[in-house]
Amino acid sequence: RYEISKTLGSGGFGRVYLCKDTHLGRDVAVKVLHPISDGDEKAQEGFRKEAQRTARLQHPNIVSVYDFFFEDNTPYLVMEYVPKTLKEHLDANKRLSPEEVTKIAIQLCNGLIHAHEEHTPPVVHRDINPRNILLTSEGNSKLCDFGISRAIEYFTQSIAGSYEYAPYEQWEGVI
């Protein structure tokens, strides 16, 4: 159903591809995570809960999740395709105007407010960084990769996300 066009990126949990959804005729981003051990129902259920939690986050400043599935113990997450990361934008343009920074910050805050206040339990992202902020062709921002998010009831004090962007509170007592 999903024809791979190119690799968009990779990280510690897997790779993301630009794909064509042949059933709906649209571009999507497909995140392919590392395989889960055969019979590891706890890991599969954890992925399923994360996918369902993220899919409930319907907001203009959060990337939409369309589908998830397993194939040969490999989890796949199908998401809205947004063409550029903030990191790519910064690498190409070197700086943002104060107006652009303000617009991005307000939009991300709106998305986070939605994740925190509109859901029970609230969803905590835990890895906000320029690679996880996407920019639409219209210049709007969307937060993606809630893969290590946690519902507040499961939130721990362990360090999560990109260490260079981790808040001080996560490092407290570690160093």
Among 27, 38, 40, 127, the one annotated catalytic: 127
With helix as H, strand as E and coil as C, how does the chain read? CEEEEEEEEECCCEEEEEEEECCCCEEEEEEEECCCCCCCHHHHHHHHHHHHHHHCCCCCCECCEEEEEEECCEEEEEEECCCEEHHHHHHHHCCCCHHHHHHHHHHHHHHHHHHHHCCCCCEECCCCCHHHEEECCCCCEEECCCCCCEEHHHCCCCCCCCHHHCCHHHHCCCC
Distances (CA, A) of 80 to 20, 35, 169: 11, 22, 32
* 127 has catalytic annotation: yes
Give me the active site residues, please. Answer: 127
